[in-house]
């Protein structure tokens, strides 16, 4: 016969104490008669939370006690880890500062007796003749104390906003299951002087990754996926430059940042209109710098891929899955994945606008379209609604009456799966590793799972102290600010009553920053070769350059004809000559992706510019953008002017034909070879290295001749009339 859950747990605990004698309960702890009416000296009515300390574990419980006004007590106890819900109590009695009660209809006569000390009760739990210590606290007392610890925090936050040049923050603190703070501070919209509230929406950036990991854990708990399932088995189009990594990467590897790939973030950041399948196909052309599992390297593409795994297994979009499995049951109706556009009245909704501090004033930033990389960072939420997410995570995957994820799977996400490989620099902040969607650290002796986020004009931090039942979320509408992380630690210090640090000290002054920048500029100039100039006229560098993953870059001559302009997507930046065939982004505010990056134009043996190289990913070789033919010169009408037969000598005739937009060449009726356009009317023979054809093309009419190039020389070939 199976014992009830609580009896099973205690019986197992007793079994490990093989030397403990079996004896009858002591008369002093025997449960009083059922429903006994007694004189009450202490008021213990209400909800309590506690734990029984059995060997090797703590059995947490929640208890409700009530009195009917005539001295008769009743109550119920729930023990979540054992599946016990609302077990009825009997013999509830309060005498002086002692409370006693038993659990109804459970074998072994389980009973409690404890001493009341204000809002705390401590004593002994007894079952089957064995006794174990227990303690419980009145629910809400800890949260009330924590709330008192945050008194005056608004003034502190307002001062921090000014010191750190941040327009506003949304802040949520959950402690012991209760939201003790959820509010906005500062202005979500500077131009309209609109104040932030607890409902103000902020982009949370990479704090989204924990949602994607949660989604995958949901599929694992439902038996639809296993952590060691190969990505290739779910996504056949998953191709990498490293074939071993491609064939052996598991779905868990996607979440641990150990893929062997560095970030390569410019691939997606410069392609806001790309789709997930398009970005997935680009990964085949990204150079790795480590073997699978070799070391931790933060990687957004793998989380995008994890979202695509969720889509493939569930049969619905990642956004829909997150909405149905997380947002809807957590009552988060305004949390979304939408990217506002310029034609939306942003003052009509309670949403923060993105800002950046330029050193003197705030500048309104653009919302970035991160839809394709959504599983890595697209969620927008508020302090109020993120409180529900924190409550779920701190309650072991439960929210209200629902279990969204088993507690063991949730703990698996917050367990270390990757070593960060870094030696600690502070005793109060020691990085433990990376879980699945969470950075793990020891903060002043407290276990902390956290993940920040940054995307154009927004910064975020979501932090959990799971062993302390504390969760904190801070969102800011400022670009790349450290304030969310700093404020999170201030709030944790206060709630956990830790010795606080001067986290919110003002950052460096503008003068200090300028001094640092001047020093940096002086050191940078030492790497420049002075007195050089470009080897070619500016027009020789102009053209389109392409990489299969990073996309296209267009270079044009600027208006003054003394420099170049580079265009990536819709963004344009001026280039100034640095030395030799190297250019750098000009101006006082170059893009982060091109700041101090050498753009090197590479020529072939014939002196023609064939590629543009840039160290866009520091840990791999420079990214080479190959020069592309001018598509305006490859129209069918223009190519037809090159079609015909050309005489090399008395014995050799070359025939040019067209297949769609590709020219072919054959010699004396032999096999056709492909002509690859390189520049103007010059074509290389794909199958014969070192051989090329360059056509003479007048303003109108067919080409009268061409020059055939081969290693060691060239020959003029006249057109032969049909």
pLDDT of residue 345: 67
Weakest-pLDDT range from 35-44, 183-192, 370-379, 607-616: 35-44
Domains 538-628 and 632-720 alike in fold: yes
Task: With H, G, I as helix, E, B as strand and everything else as coil, classify residue 327.
Answer: helix
Average pLDDT over residues 257-261: 97
pLDDT band at 12 (very low <50, low <70, confident <90, very high): very low
**Which string of b and e fits 668-683 if b means at least 16 CB within 10 Å?**
eeeeebebebbbebbb
Alpha carbon distance 534, 483 (integer Å) = 45
Alpha carbon distance 139, 629 (integer Å) = 72
For 593-646, the three-class secondary structure string (H helix, E strand, C coil) is: HHCCCCEEEEECCCCCEEEEEECCCCCCCCEEEEEECCHHHCCHHHHHCCCEEE
* Residues 632-720, CATH architecture: Beta Barrel (2.40)
Average pLDDT over residues 312-333: 98
Weakest-pLDDT range from 125-139, 477-491, 504-518, 670-684: 504-518
For residue 143, what is the enclosing H or E element?
helix 141-149
Inter-residue contact 451 to 435 (CB < 8 Å) = no
Contacts 24+ apart (CB under 8 A), 16-21: 16/55, 16/56, 17/55, 17/130, 20/130
pLDDT of residue 484: 98
Average pLDDT over residues 310-332: 98
pTM for this entry: 0.78
Non-local (6+) Cβ contacts of 248 within 8 A are 230, 292
Instruction: Assess whether pLDDT exceeds 80 at residue 514.
Output: no
Q: Is the dihedral of CA 516, 517, 522, 525 positive or negative?
A: positive
More confident residue, 717 or 520: 717
Q: What is the pLDDT of residues 380-419, one digit of tens each?
A: 999 999 999 999 999 999 999 899 999 999 999 999 999 9
Average pLDDT over residues 672-691: 89
Q: Hey, how many other C-beta atoms are within 10 angstroms of the C-beta on 711?
A: 8
Q: What is the pLDDT of residues 225-258, one digit of tens each?
A: 999 999 999 999 999 999 999 999 999 999 999 9
Taking Cα atoms as reference points, which of 432, 490, 453, 429 lies closest to residue 173?
Answer: 490
Alpha carbon distance 563, 565 (integer Å) = 7
Residues in a beta bridge with 720: 645
pLDDT of residue 357: 93
Weakest-pLDDT range from 293-302, 563-572, 688-697: 563-572
Instruction: Assess whether pLDDT exceeds 60 at residue 461.
Output: yes
For residue 219, what is the enclosing H or E element?
helix 209-221
More confident residue, 654 or 540: 654
Domain ranges of the chain: 5-138, 153-464, 538-628, 632-720
Residue 403 backbone zone (phi > 0: left; psi -120 to 50: alpha; other: beta):
beta
Taking Cα atoms as reference points, which of 342, 530, 546, 365 lies closest to residue 458?
Answer: 365
- State CA 404 to chain mean position distance: 21
pLDDT band at 3 (very low <50, low <70, confident <90, very high): very low
Please give the share of the chain, as a percent, with pLDDT higher than 70: 89
| Secondary structure letter of residue 16 according to DSSP | T
For 229-254, the three-class secondary structure string (H helix, E strand, C coil) is: CEHHHHCCCCCCCCHHHHHHCECCHH
pLDDT band at 526 (very low <50, low <70, confident <90, very high): low
Non-local (6+) Cβ contacts of 444 within 8 A are 428, 429, 493, 496, 498, 499
pLDDT of residue 35: 42
Residues in the chain: 722
pLDDT band at 65 (very low <50, low <70, confident <90, very high): very high
pLDDT of residue 38: 38
**CATH superfamily, with its number, for domain 5-138:** Quinohemoprotein amine dehydrogenase alpha subunit, domain 2 (2.40.128.120)
Inter-residue contact 478 to 488 (CB < 8 Å) = no
- The helix-helix angle for 300-314 and 209-221 (nearest 10°) equals 40
Q: What is the CATH T-level fold of the domain 153-464, as seen in this structure? A: Beta-lactamase (3.40.710)
Alpha carbon distance 23, 25 (integer Å) = 6
Weakest-pLDDT range from 125-139, 192-206, 463-477, 502-516: 502-516
| Secondary structure letter of residue 676 according to DSSP | E
Dihedral angle computed from the Cα positions of residues 652, 653, 654 and 655, in that order, rounded to the nearest 10 degrees:
-150
Q: What is the CATH T-level fold of the domain 538-628, as seen in this structure? A: Lipocalin (2.40.128)
Instruction: Assess whether pLDDT exceeds 50 at residue 117.
Output: yes
């Amino acid at each position: 016969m199976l014992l009830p859950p609580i009896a099973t747990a205690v019986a197992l605990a007793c079994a490990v104490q093989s030397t403990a004698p079996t004896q009858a309960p002591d008369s002093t702890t025997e449960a009083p008669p059922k429903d006994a009416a007694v004189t009450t000296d202490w008021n213990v009515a209400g909800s309590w939370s506690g734990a029984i300390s059995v060997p090797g574990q703590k059995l947490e419980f929640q208890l409700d006690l009530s009195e009917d006004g005539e001295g008769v007590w009743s109550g119920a106890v729930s023990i979540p880890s054992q599946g016990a819900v609302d077990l009825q109590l009997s013999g509830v009695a309060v005498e002086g500062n002692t409370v006693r009660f038993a659990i109804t209809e459970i074998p072994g006569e389980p009973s409690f007796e404890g001493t009341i000390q204000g809002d705390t009760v401590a004593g002994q739990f007894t079952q089957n003749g064995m006794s174990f210590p227990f303690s419980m606290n009145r629910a809400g007392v800890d949260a009330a104390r924590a709330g008192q610890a945050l008194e005056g925090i608004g003034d502190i936050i307002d001062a921090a906003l000014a010191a750190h040049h941040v327009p506003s923050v949304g802040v949520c603190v959950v402690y012991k299951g209760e939201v003790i703070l959820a509010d906005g501070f500062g202005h979500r919209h500077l131009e309209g002087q609109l104040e932030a509230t607890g409902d103000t929406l902020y982009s949370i950036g990479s704090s989204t990754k924990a949602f994607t990991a949660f989604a995958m854990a949901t599929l694992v708990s439902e038996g639809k996926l296993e952590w060691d399932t190969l990505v290739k088995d779910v996504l056949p189009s998953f191709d990498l430059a490293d074939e071993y990594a491609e064939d052996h990467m598991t779905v868990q590897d996607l979440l641990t940042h150990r893929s062997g790939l560095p970030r390569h973030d410019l691939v997606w950041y410069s392609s806001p209109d790309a789709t997930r399948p398009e970005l997935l196909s680009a990964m085949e052309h990204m150079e790795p710098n480590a073997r699978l599992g070799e070391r931790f390297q933060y990687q957004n593409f793998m989380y995008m891929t994890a979202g695509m795994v969720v889509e493939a297994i569930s049969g619905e979009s990642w956004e829909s899955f997150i909405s149905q499995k997380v947002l809807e049951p957590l009552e988060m109706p305004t949390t979304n994945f939408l990217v506002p556009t310029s034609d939306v009245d942003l003052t009509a909704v309670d949403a923060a606008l993105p800002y950046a501090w330029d050193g003197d004033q705030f500048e309104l930033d653009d919302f970035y379209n991160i839809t394709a990389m959504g599983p890595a960072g697209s969620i927008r939420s508020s302090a109020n609604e993120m409180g529900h997410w924190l409550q779920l995570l701190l309650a072991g995957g439960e929210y209200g009456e629902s279990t969204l994820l088993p507690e063991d799977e949730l703990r698996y996400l917050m367990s270390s799966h990757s070593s960060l490989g870094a030696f600690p620099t502070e005793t109060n902040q020691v990085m433990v590793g990376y879980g699945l969607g969470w950075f793990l650290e020891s903060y002043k002796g407290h276990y902390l799972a956290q993940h920040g986020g940054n995307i154009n004009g927004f910064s975020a931090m979501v932090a959990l102290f799971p062993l302390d039942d504390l969760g904190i979320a801070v969102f800011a509408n400022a670009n790349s600010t450290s304030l969310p992380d700093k404020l999170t630690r201030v709030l944790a210090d206060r709630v956990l009553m830790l010795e606080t640090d001067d986290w919110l000290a003002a950052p460096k002054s503008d003068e200090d920053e300028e001094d640092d920048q001047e020093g940096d500029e002086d050191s940078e100039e030492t790497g420049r070769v002075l007195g050089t100039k470009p080897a070619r006229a500016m027009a020789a560098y102009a053209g389109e350059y392409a990489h299969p993953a990073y996309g296209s870059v267009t270079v044009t001559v600027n208006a003054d004809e003394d420099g170049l302009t580079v265009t990536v997507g819709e963004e344009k930046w001026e280039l100034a000559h640095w030395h030799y065939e190297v250019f750098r982004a000009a101006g006082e505010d170059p893009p982060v992706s091109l700041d101090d990056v050498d753009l090197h134009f590479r020529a072939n043996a014939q002196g023609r510019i064939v590629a543009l190289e840039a160290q866009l990913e520091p840990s791999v070789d420079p990214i080479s953008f190959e020069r592309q033919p001018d598509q305006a010169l490859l129209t069918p009408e223009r190519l037809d002017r090159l079609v015909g037969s050309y005489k090399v000598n008395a014995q050799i005739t070359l025939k040019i034909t067209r297949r769609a937009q590709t020219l072919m060449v054959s010699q004396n009726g032999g096999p056709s070879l492909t002509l690859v356009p390189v520049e103007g009317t010059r074509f290389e023979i794909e199958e014969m290295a070192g051989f090329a054809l360059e056509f003479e093309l007048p303003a109108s009419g067919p080409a009268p001749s061409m020059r055939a190039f081969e290693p060691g020389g060239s020959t003029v070939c006249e057109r032969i009339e049909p």
